[in-house]
Structure formats: structure tokens, C-alpha cells
Structure 1
Amino acid sequence: MDAKELLDGMSVYSRLREAILSGRLSAGARLVSQRLAGEFGVSRTPVKEALARLEGEGLVVREGNWGYNVRTISLRDAEEIFEARLVIEVASAERAAQRATDDEARAMSRLLRSCHQHLRSENLVEFQHTSRAIHELITQATGNSQLIRMFRQVNDLVILFGISLLRANPYRAQDILKENEAIVEAIQRRDSNEAVRLMRLHIEKGHSSFRQTAASIRPAISLF
């Protein structure tokens, strides 16, 4: 691949990834390299490279010989994601309460204020992304590169189905905000035990809400 194709591939990758994680490309959407090459005005080679990279990240899956689909999150996938979050994010909350710098603690507060703004404007996509940014910052505050790597591997999948779930149950957003505020306050007080308790409760409540929403909408949407 020459330099132009490499740059084209990076651009296609970034644009497709943003479209998937913003919900503009919904779960199950077909992604055909020839069609995408025409839409982006590039050759098929950078499109194929971008799709292969997204496949490696778990955001798209190969469908036969003709192309890819945006990944759909099965019930089993979701159960495994919540289980992974309990391992990664509860540990991160404990370490963040012990290690977060004052700058990191202030940055968490700024993100919470952004969440309030997105909720007031009913922008659930940006709310979801900013909420997850708080959790990423909590993990970064641990200073543990392995926790950060594991968080990022899971986080795209959390966003992938989280936006659809919030659209199906927008009332959950207000609870998410309150729970995140309590977690951040515990971290800022350096109360690691409370941060652990609240993070675990937050994830368990999210899991319970997911199960209730899935049971009510499973026949009507393509997520499950």
C-alpha cells in the first residue's frame, strides 16, 4: 500500500468507526467494500484495510464473501461484557481513589458537567460517549497500563449497544448520571471502599436495566 492509500485507509477507518459508535450505522448494517469505495472516493484497497481493522476491534463481522456487517451484540455478548466490566472497572475505581491526581479529579467533574448539558439537550449519543469518557478517565487515573488496555478493548462494545439501549430506555440516562456523580465524589474523597461499592452497584444496575429493556424490546430491534 502506498502513502496515499495508507492515508485513505486511515480516513475511511476513522469515518466508519465514528459512524458505528455514533449509531448512524446501526447494528447489522451491510458494509460492502465496492460501495464504500465509491461513497468515499477511494480505491477498494484502503476500504478493505479499514474494514479488516474494524473487524479486529470487534466492531464489524465478515458476512460470507460479499462484505461485512456492523456487529450485533447478542445476549451472551452483553452478559460477558457486563462481567468484564465488573472485573476491570471495579478494580479501576479502587485504584483511582488511591492514585488520581488533583487534575484528573477536576477533569472528572468537568466531564460530569458536560453530561448534564447533553442530558438537558437530550443528546443521548454525546451523553453516552461522555459518560464512558468518565469511566475511561477513572481507569487512566490508576496508572495501570494493563487495566487501561483491557478497558479500551471492552469500551467500544459498551458504546456499540449502549446508545441503542438508551434510545430504547432514555430514563436510564438520569440514573447513570447520578451514579457517576456518586462514584466521582467517592474518588475525589479518596474513599476507595465506597468507590468500589458504588462502581459495582452502578454496573449491576446497568445490567439489570439492560435485561429489563432487552426483554421488552427484543422482538422489535436488531440488537439481539
Structure 2
Amino acid sequence: MRANTVHKRAYNQCLSVLAARPLGVWPVSEAELSERLEVSRTTVRGVLAGLAAAGIVGTDGARRSLRRHPVSGDYFPGLETETVAEAVERKFMQWVLQGDCRPGQVVNAAELARLFGTSTTAVREYLTRFSQFGLLKRRENSGWIFAGVTPDFAAEIYEIREMFELRSARRFVELAPESPAWAELDAIAREHHALLAEIDARYRDFSRLDERLHRLIHDASRNRFIRDFYDVISIIFHYHYQWDKTDEKERHRVALQEHLDYIAALRSRDLRLIDQTCRAHLRTARATLLRSIAAGPLSGVKRPQSPGTGESAPMASTG
């Protein structure tokens, strides 16, 4: 990861920490912040200097104080904080969703590397990891084959997803009150309300919000296998949901409300309520996925081909 990227990621993480704190004295040392952000003290000093320059944090000798809470404009854009692996993952997902990728299609790592503007090694590492879940099959000579998803495969994925998400949700509520994850959850909830208020014009914006919420919950598991599994969930649900545009706006409205119920349950830390709202939401997602698989690909839909621009065709919700 480039040093500049490390700084920007740490800066954004620190902003999330400060967003959950009251204004006033901020009793934190460089060593404590270095441990929390998992970066060097040199990076921490750079972050603190940036916060001071932005008027967010003030210093009086050895004492630091929070002068104002961060706003959205204080954060570095997500694309500027990506690791190489994250960039490959994002571009591969866009390639699958926007292209004409169909079961049986050959996936060539060298061609994808040129398309993504990254190294062949980075693409191969991602494809090798991704192939372990059955959506890509390695050919004996070279390359991979993109495999299809059957209703039986989808049912298996759903069963594992439910187990992993429930486990992750339980770990989420064990996070300390000052954890940045809670501030991020609040920000996601606010964006849900904003999107509901403009659902007629912005209903296709739901997918990115959906991705943020579920990935935030899965990340709380602190389990790399659960985190990796969510990559497969994203591909399967996004890829197939785009086929079925029936009642898309209403489906997204329902999913937004289910998300808010789920977020409220997480906030309550009531495990029974969390279990109830999580299972209800995932049942809705499963039903929509199976309907999309049965419907099959949309015909006559032209999709943009470049995954490197950051512009993506509308994606339907993963639920």
C-alpha cells in the first residue's frame, strides 16, 4: 500500500473516532492512537497535523482538544484510500456487473490486468482467492471459467450467509461505545433516511448503501474467512439482481426500511431483536435472489464495458 494511501486511510479512521466523541479535551497519546489505527507513530503525527490544519483538533502544550466534529467534506474520497487488493475487487465486480459475463465465459488475468490498470499478479491473487468459492473454475492450461449460479447453489450461499451475518451482528454489539463502527453505523442510518426521502429519483443509489451496511457488519466479525465470503455474496446478489427490474423501486424501499429496523436492533444490543430483524431481512433477500435467477438475464440491455472509470451501471439491492 502506498504511504499516501496509508495516511489517508488513517486520517479517515481518526475522523470516524472523533465523530463519536464530545467536543472538548481529547486525552489520547500518539502511542494509543498508533495502536488504535494500526499505523506508525510517524503516520499518526501526520494525521494529527492534518486535523489541526483543518481546525478539527487544537493543541495547548501537550493537551489536545476536539474543536469541531468532522463533516463529510473532511474525509478523503474512498477511491483514494483503497489498497491494491480493494481496487482489484471493485474493478472485478464492476466488470462482472457491467459486461456480458455469462456462465462458461473465459476469464483471462492478463487481459483484466490491462483493463484494470494494475498488475497481473494482483489480479491472479484475487481470482485464486475468489475461485475457492466455486464461482470461478481454474482451467488446466491457463485462466479461469466463470461458473453459473443455480437455485441450489444460491440456497447454500444463503444458509452460510445467514450464519455468518448473525455471528457478525453479535460481534458488532460487543464493540466498545467509542468504536468508529458505531459512528459509521449512524452515518449509514442518516443516509438511509435521506434516500427514503428521495426514493423516486434515487432508488438505484441503494446498492452502494447496502454494500456499506452489510460489509460494516461482516467486518465486525474480525474473521478473515467471513470477510472474504462477503465478496462472493456481493457478486452473486448484485450480478443476479440486476436481471429482474420488476418493482425495483418498491423492493429497494422495503429493503431500506428493513435495514433501518436492523440498525435499530443493533443499537438496542438486544440479541433477540437482532436475530429477528436480521433473519427477516435475509429471507427477503433470498426470495428476491431466487426470483432473479428464475427470471434470467435481461435481453437487449446495453452495459458499459470499462470498470476503471468508477462509473457503474445501476445495481439492484443485495438486501
Question: TM exceeds 0.5?
Answer: yes
In the alignment of these two chains, the number of paired residues is 201
**How far 1:163 moved relative to its partner?**
1.8
Distance 2:113 2:262 in 1: 44
Assess, with a 3 A threshold, how the Cα gap between structure 1 residues 53 and 38 changes in structure 2: closer, same or farther.
closer
Percent identity, please.
19
Contact 2:219 2:227 in 1 (8 A): no
Q: Counterpart in 1 of 2:184?
A: 107
Distance 1:38 1:164 in 2: 23
Assess, with a 3 A threshold, how the Cα gap between structure 1 residues 104 and 47 changes in structure 2: closer, same or farther.
closer
Distance 1:122 1:65 in 2: 44
Q: Normalising by the residue count of structure 2, what TM-score does the alignment of the two structures yield?
A: 0.52
**How far 1:24 moved relative to its partner?**
2.5
Q: Counterpart in 2 of 1:3?
A: none
**How far 1:152 moved relative to its partner?**
1.4
Q: Normalising by the residue count of structure 1, what TM-score does the alignment of the two structures yield?
A: 0.71
Contact 2:107 2:144 in 1 (8 A): yes
Q: Counterpart in 2 of 1:47?
A: 120
Q: Tell me the amino acid that sits aligned with residue 259 of structure 2.
A: N
Q: Counterpart in 1 of 2:272?
A: 193
Mapping of 1:1-224 within 5 angstroms?
16-22=88-94, 23-28=97-102, 29-33=105-109, 35-36=111-112, 46-47=119-120, 50-58=123-131, 60-63=136-139, 65=141, 67-99=143-175, 101=177, 103-115=180-192, 116-117=194-195, 120-124=201-205, 127-141=206-220, 144-146=221-223, 149-167=224-242, 168-169=244-245, 170=248, 171-215=250-294, 217-218=295-296
Q: Tell me the amino acid that sits aligned with residue 275 of structure 2.
A: V
RMSD between aligned residues: 3.3
Contact 2:154 2:290 in 1 (8 A): no
Q: Counterpart in 1 of 2:306?
A: none
**How far 1:83 moved relative to its partner?**
0.4
**How far 1:220 moved relative to its partner?**
5.8
**How far 1:38 moved relative to its partner?**
5.8
Distance 1:39 1:206 in 2: 32
Q: Secondary structure at the match of 1:61?
A: strand
Assess, with a 3 A threshold, how the Cα gap between structure 1 residues 218 and 25 changes in structure 2: closer, same or farther.
closer
**How far 1:128 moved relative to its partner?**
2.4
* Bigger mean CA deviation after superposition, 167-176 or 98-107: 98-107
Q: Tell me the amino acid that sits aligned with residue 155 of structure 1.
A: Y
Assess, with a 3 A threshold, how the Cα gap between structure 1 residues 20 and 34 changes in structure 2: closer, same or farther.
closer
Contact 1:95 1:192 in 2 (8 A): no
**How far 1:73 moved relative to its partner?**
2.9
Distance 2:188 2:290 in 1: 27
Contact 2:203 2:253 in 1 (8 A): no
Assess, with a 3 A threshold, how the Cα gap between structure 1 residues 130 and 48 changes in structure 2: closer, same or farther.
same
Pick the structure with greater CA Rg.
2
* Bigger mean CA deviation after superposition, 182-191 or 86-95: 86-95
Q: Secondary structure at the match of 2:276?
A: helix
Specify which structure has the higher proportion of helix: 1
Assess, with a 3 A threshold, how the Cα gap between structure 1 residues 182 and 70 changes in structure 2: closer, same or farther.
same
**How far 1:89 moved relative to its partner?**
0.9
**How far 1:31 moved relative to its partner?**
2.8
Unaligned residue ranges in structure 1 (runs of 5+): 1-9
Q: Tell me the amino acid that sits aligned with residue 189 of structure 1.
A: S
Q: Secondary structure at the match of 2:98?
A: coil
Unaligned residue ranges in structure 2 (runs of 5+): 1-82, 300-319
Per-residue displacement from partner, 1:89-120 (whole Å, max 9, x unpaired)?
11222342344535433311312344554964
Q: Tell me the amino acid that sits aligned with residue 187 of structure 2.
A: R
Q: RCO greater where, 1 or 2, for CA within 8 Å and sep 6 or more?
A: 1
